[in-house]
Structures are given as C-alpha cells and as structure tokens.
Amino acid sequence: MRGAFLAFLLVSCSDHSFREKLVLADSLSATNADSSLVILNELRANSPSLKESDRLYFDLIWHRARTENYLRNAPNDTLLRALLQEQERILTASSRRSGRVVATLVAVLLGLLLVVGMSAFRFALRREERELDRQRQALFAGKRVSQIAASPETMAMRRLCSAAQLPTDDDWVRFQTMIDSLSDGFSHRLLSAHKLSEQELRVCLLIKAQFKPSEMALLTAHSKEAITSTRRRLYKKMTGLDGTPEMLDELILRV
C-alpha cells in the first residue's frame, strides 16, 4: 500500500517543474518524510547540477526530511534532536542569505539598466537639441545671407559689376562693414582664425554676398580661373583638407 502511494506520488508530480517538486517535498517533509525523500531522490537523479538558491533549498528539505525520519525511530534522543535542529537553522540562514544575494544582484542589474536607460535618453535629448540648434543656426544664417544680398552696399557692388567698374577702397570698406554688422563680425572672425591676403578676404566677402565667380573676377580684376584657384586654396587653408571651390562657398555661407 505504501509502495503504491509512493508510485502514485511520483507519477502525479512528474509533470511539475523542479521548483514545484521542491515545494511539494518541503510540504511533505514534516508529515510524510519518506515521500519527501522519494521526491528529493528523484530530483537529485534527474538534476545533477543545481542553481545555488535551489541547492540550498534542496539541502534544507533533505535535512528536514531525514531528521523527521530519524526522530520518528528515536523520539527520545534529545541531544541528536538539538543537533539536527541547529543544522537546520544554519541551512535556513544560508538559504536566506542566498535569497538576499539574489535580490541584491537583481537590484544592481535594475540600477544599471536604469543608468543605461537614462544615459541613452540624455544622449538622444542632446542629439535632438543639437539638431534643433543646427536648424536654428541654418535658418538664421539663411536670413543673414538674404539680408546681405538685399543690402544697399551689395546692390552698389552689383551696379559696379554690371558697368564693368572696379570698386574703390571706400566701396570695399563699406561692403565689409555691412557684412560684419549683419553676420557677427564675419571678417574679424575669419582673420583671427586664418591669415588671409586682401584678395582672399575680398573673395570671401563676395561669396558671403552670393556673387557668382564671374562677378568676383570682374570686381577683383582677376580671371575666373584665378578665382576658382583661390577658392580651392582657401578651403585647404581653412580646413586642412582638399576640396572643391563649391565646398568653400558652403563653408563661408555657414560662418
């Protein structure tokens, strides 16, 4: 009868998970130690490697079932009972420490995930802010370029170009002063960062006002090929990289 009960017990718990079987063995350890030991033996045979928390729980139940089994046959052995109870207390404390370690590890992992998440959020926010700032600067630069192109000084330079006349030094001074006033000291910022000749500075001013290379050639008394060469050389001087004249134009319009 007892053997049939144990066989029924094994069959009934065969579909349960390892942890569920441990809980079942735990609940039987005080009332039916033999059945608890049968379940534990099955688990030990089928699960040779255990997680630390499961191993401590397994050892605790195993010890409790063996203790109940022995004390049932020697109920008057008080010294052994006290010894076995102390061993169970130690096992219980170890199991609790293991649980605390797991909880600590989980908390640390969650904290790390939170830090990583916040860092990713800040990075995305800063990238969005930089993009918005770039768009604002591009919009502002576009407005300044339009204002420069429509200014009286630029119109005066275009009339001279149409008449094939060279600007005087005063014309250049007025033209440069206008551009500096509308673009935060454009020429001063260029000259403080790069050593430019008078011809190179005037080419940059004309690019800022969106003059064509052929118009730059007329206003500076140089050939169109010389203007193209100057623009290419200026890009190299300002960036340290080889580039096209058009790349200099784009750079100047953003400054």
**125 in a domain, yes or no?**
no
Q: What is the pLDDT of residue 10?
A: 46
* Residues 168 and 246 both lie in one domain: yes
Confidence label for 3 from pLDDT (cuts 50, 70 and 90): very low
Range of the domain at 53: 2-108
How many independent structural domains does the chain possess? 2
pLDDT digits (tens, 9 = 90+) for 111-139: 566 566 667 767 777 787 777 666 665 55
* Residues 77 and 174 both lie in one domain: no
- 137 Cβ neighbours under 8 A, 6+ residues apart: 254
Question: Do 251 and 239 contact (CB within 8 A), yes or no?
Answer: yes
Residue 165, by phi and psi: left (phi above 0), alpha (psi -120 to 50) or beta? beta
DSSP the chain: -HHHHHHHHHHHTTTS-HHHHHHHHHHHHTT-HHHHHHHHHHHHHH-SS--HHHHHHHHHHHHHHHHHHHHHH-TT-HHHHHHHHHHHHHHHHHHHHHHHHHHHHHHHHHHHHHHHHHHHHHHHHHHHHHHHHHHHHHHHHHHHHHHHHTSHHHHHHHHHHHTT-PPPHHHHHHHHHHHHHHTTSHHHHHHHHS---HHHHHHHHHHHTT--HHHHHHHHT--HHHHHHHHHHHHHHHHSS---HHHHHHHHHH-
What is the percentage of the chain residues whose pLDDT exceeds 90? 38
**8 in a domain, yes or no?**
yes
**171 in a domain, yes or no?**
yes
**170 in a domain, yes or no?**
yes
pLDDT digits (tens, 9 = 90+) for 188-241: 999 999 999 999 999 999 999 999 999 999 999 999 999 999 999 999 999 999
* Residues 162 and 104 both lie in one domain: no
CA torsion sign for 19, 95, 100, 52 is: negative
**141 in a domain, yes or no?**
no
Question: Do 205 and 179 contact (CB within 8 A), yes or no?
Answer: yes
